[in-house]
């Protein structure tokens, strides 16, 4: 067996930092937590073997401060850095500097991150690898709107090449709206990502978001661990994730899994990652993007495969070969609800506050990943995710009932949370029947308001 | 009711933690009421400390290796070099926010420091000659 790490620095905060500390502890690896000054009382700081303050509250001065993080790793004697998700996790420059500074980056190579980071380049590479992509075209300076309309009929989608998270994105339903939407998307792309580059693709009506978990080692082996269905989302922010998908057949799972393996292999991937697909109503799937990191919703897969993805990610980074095969038969059913400090009745506006009282659900089949505790003050500088509640059942019906029961037990006082959304949404007939798509939550919110 | 100071203190701490302003405890025919006055205790204490101690504490603005450039008892001018912080391969100067005498150095030369960590203390009022203890 390859020697693993002695000490890992976690360049993140919140629940994912806690999750990584737990994985390290189980592997017998020491942990270093980094934190901003407002996070001094955060749970990851308390749980780590050592902690170090890297800057003031704004992310750019702390969790995005590459020099401070590398310096912290050096001072504390870490030999590897785990980026978590968000912040610097998909920053190719960071991955490169970590390695150049003599630490191991627990994630993909800078080259893989770069290859998947630019959406236009990634699309092209996926086409070459035989992975289905949504019919569309890259918009160069010469293209006129009539050229575009001739090639891609509305409804169509304008997307920022460097984008993600729904920014720089516009749906065009009527030909005459194309020019104004294009300008708006380009301006938004410029301010969010510093590039006006956009591309156009067919807008897939009422499609589902299905993603495949892939795992690869440094010896050229790539496998997949089945799908997660993340169709319950609002403005590209996922709210509920589950596995298996209520609509995938074993045959389709196999084909999507093979496509995901091809996609990861095409960029020389050697860690855990996710290939996101859109699945249309006629069961055609298209590559959406790759997330070159551990994902928020990774525990859903852990529950139905019995694989600890974070431990596996660390061991793969340390150079261990992958000792398992793809899993196409998932064990039972798992659902995750993302509990954010947001008021869903006010357009999901993020809220700060202090957790005045907290009661966590428990009992059979319930897993909680969180960093909050009674008395915890929620800083408004960061992501609003407070907690992930997971319910596992022998089948989807049992998992849903368990989740409803867990949401009923949950008490978080002092700040509004999305739990009030989830309590209602999990009772929705269409959700229960699995008959939803990525636009469903918006429509549901519209109908519950009126 | 017997007044137990330790219990009262624990109660006051609990009130602060939960943002409670008033608590009334009743036992038989006696009762006691606790009221936390704003500004809260913690903040008030900080202000008191500052009033009692005119020293200026210089904290680290970076994560790096502390390289001492002055000694206790040294007179420094405003803007003068106190220390350097080595962040990876780059050195940053730590300069004095005021003129005065170096009263105490909290960090050993060559040790790692975190953001916000107190590095040294200056006595801005004291004269350049013998340091009073």
ipTM confidence: 0.85
Kindly report which listed range (A64-78, A95-109, B50-64) carries the lowest average pLDDT score.
B50-64
Whether residue A167 is predicted with pLDDT greater than 80 in this model: the reply is no
Rounded CA separation A424/A314 (Å): 38
Q: Give the mean pLDDT of A256-282.
A: 97
Q: Give the mean pLDDT of A177-199.
A: 87
Q: Do A68 and B17 touch (CB under 8 A)?
A: no
Q: Six-digit token pair at A135?
A: 């019919």
Q: What are phi and psi of A243, to 5 degrees?
A: -145, 140
Q: Give the mean pLDDT of A149-164.
A: 82
| Predicted pLDDT at B44 | 39
Pairing of strands A222-234, A285-291: unpaired
Q: Give the mean pLDDT of B9-33.
A: 68
Q: Give the mean pLDDT of A281-297.
A: 96
Strand ranges (E), chain B? 22-27, 30-35, 56-59, 64-68, 75-76, 81-87, 90-95, 100-105, 112-113, 118-123
| Predicted pLDDT at B48 | 43
Rounded CA separation A300/A362 (Å): 17
Query: What is the pLDDT confidence band of residue B50, given thresholds at 50, 70 and 90?
Result: very low
Which of A293, A338, A396, A402 does the annotation list as catalytic?
Answer: A293
The answer to whether A97 touches A308, Cβ cutoff 8 Å, is no
Query: What is the pLDDT confidence band of residue A252, given thresholds at 50, 70 and 90?
Result: very high
Nearest CA in chain B to A76: B112
| Predicted pLDDT at A109 | 98
Residues 54-113 of A with CB under 8 A from B: 54-56, 62, 67-68, 70-72, 74-76, 101
Q: Six-digit token pair at A255?
A: 């084909």
β-pair partners for A171: A157
Among B89, B18, B25, CA closest to A70: B89
Half-sphere exposure of A353 (CA within 13 A, CB side): 18
Alpha-helical regions (H) of A228-284: 250-266
Q: Give the mean pLDDT of A191-201.
A: 84
Select from B61, B114, B119 the residue whose CB has the most chain A CBs within 10 Å, as the one to mutate to test that interface.
B114
Alpha-helical regions (H) of A104-249: 110-117, 119-128, 145-151, 178-193
Nearest CA in chain A to B111: A75
Q: Do B114 and A101 touch (CB under 8 A)?
A: no
Among B99, B110, B131, B22, CA closest to B67: B110
SS3 category, A160? strand
Alpha-helical regions (H) of A286-439: 298-305, 309-317, 396-409, 419-425, 429-432
Q: Do A37 and B65 touch (CB under 8 A)?
A: no
Rounded CA separation A4/B46 (Å): 45
Kindly report which listed range (A330-339, B33-42, B96-105) carries the lowest average pLDDT score.
B33-42
Q: Give the range with max mean pLDDT: A90-104, A190-204, B27-41.
A: A90-104
Q: How high is the mean pLDDT of chain B?
A: 78
The answer to whether A189 touches A196, Cβ cutoff 8 Å, is yes
Shortest alpha-carbon distance between residue A374 and chain B (Å):
9
Query: What is the pLDDT confidence band of residue B128, given thresholds at 50, 70 and 90?
Result: low
Predicted TM-score (pTM) of the model is 0.86
Q: Six-digit token pair at A306?
A: 């019995």
Whether residue B47 is predicted with pLDDT greater than 60 in this model: the reply is no
A402 annotated active-site:
no
pLDDT in tens, A291-331: 999 999 999 999 999 999 999 999 999 999 999 999 999 99
B113 interaction partners in chain A (CB closer than 8 Å) = 75
């Amino acid at each position: 067996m390859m020697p693993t790490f002695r000490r890992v620095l976690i360049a993140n905060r919140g629940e994912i930092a806690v999750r990584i500390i737990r994985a390290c502890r189980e592997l017998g690896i020491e942990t270093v937590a980094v934190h901003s000054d407002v996070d001094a009382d955060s749970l990851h700081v308390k749980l780590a073997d050592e902690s170090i303050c890297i800057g003031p509250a704004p992310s750019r001065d702390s969790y995005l401060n590459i020099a401070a993080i590398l310096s912290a790793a050096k001072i504390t004697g870490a030999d590897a850095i785990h980026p978590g998700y968000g912040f610097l996790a998909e920053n190719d420059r960071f991955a490169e500097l970590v390695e150049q500074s003599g630490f191991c980056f627990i994630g993909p190579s800078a080259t893989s991150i770069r290859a998947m980071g630019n959406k236009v380049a990634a699309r092209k590479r996926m086409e070459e690898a035989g992975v289905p992509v949504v019919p569309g075209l890259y918009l160069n300076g010469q293209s006129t709107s009539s050229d575009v309309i001739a090639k891609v009929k509305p409804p169509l989608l304008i997307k920022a090449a460097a984008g993600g998270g729904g920014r720089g994105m516009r749906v065009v339903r009527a030909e005459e709206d194309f020019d104004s939407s294009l300008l708006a998307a380009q301006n938004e792309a410029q301010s969010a990502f510093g590039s006006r580059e956009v591309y156009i693709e067919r807008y897939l009506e009422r499609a589902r978001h299905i993603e495949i978990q892939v795992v690869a080692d440094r010896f050229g082996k790539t496998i997949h661990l089945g799908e997660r269905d993340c169709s319950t989302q609002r403005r590209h922010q996922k709210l509920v994730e589950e596995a298996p998908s209520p609509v995938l057949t074993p045959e389709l799972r196999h084909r999507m899994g093979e496509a995901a393996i091809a996609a990861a292999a095409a960029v020389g991937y050697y860690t855990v990652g996710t290939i996101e697909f859109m699945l249309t109503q006629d069961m055609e799937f298209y590559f959406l993007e790759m997330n070159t990191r551990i994902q928020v919703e990774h525990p859903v897969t852990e529950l139905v495969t019995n694989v600890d993805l974070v431990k596996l990610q660390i061991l793969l980074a340390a150079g261990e070969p992958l000792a398992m095969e793809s899993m196409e038969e998932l064990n039972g059913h798992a659902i995750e609800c993302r509990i954010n400090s947001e008021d869903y009745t006010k357009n999901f506006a993020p809220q700060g506050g202090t957790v005045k009282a907290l009661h966590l659900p428990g009992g059979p089949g319930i897993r909680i990943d969180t960093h909050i505790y009674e008395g915890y003050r929620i800083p408004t500088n960061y992501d609003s995710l407070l907690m992930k509640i997971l319910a596992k059942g022998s089948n989807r019906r049992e998992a849903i009932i368990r989740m409803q029961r867990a949401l009923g037990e949950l008490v978080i006082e002092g700040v509004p949370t999305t739990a009030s959304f989830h309590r209602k949404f999990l009772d929705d007939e269409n959700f229960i029947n699995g008959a939803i798509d990525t636009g469903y939550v918006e429509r549901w919110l519209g109908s519950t308001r009126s | 009711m017997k007044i137990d100071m330790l219990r009262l203190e624990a109660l006051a701490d609990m009130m602060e933690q939960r943002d409670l302003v008033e608590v009334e405890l009743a036992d038989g025919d006696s009762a006691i009421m606790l009221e936390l006055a704003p500004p809260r205790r913690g903040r008030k204490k900080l202000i008191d400390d500052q009033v009692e101690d005119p020293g200026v504490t210089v904290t680290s603005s970076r994560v790096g290796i502390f390289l001492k450039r002055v000694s206790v008892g040294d007179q420094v001018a405003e803007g003068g070099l106190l220390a350097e912080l080595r962040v990876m391969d780059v050195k940053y100067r730590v300069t004095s926010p005021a003129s005065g005498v170096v009263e105490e150095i909290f960090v050993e030369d060559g040790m790692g420091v975190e953001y916000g960590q107190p590095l040294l203390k200056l006595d801005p009022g004291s004269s350049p000659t013998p340091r009073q203890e």
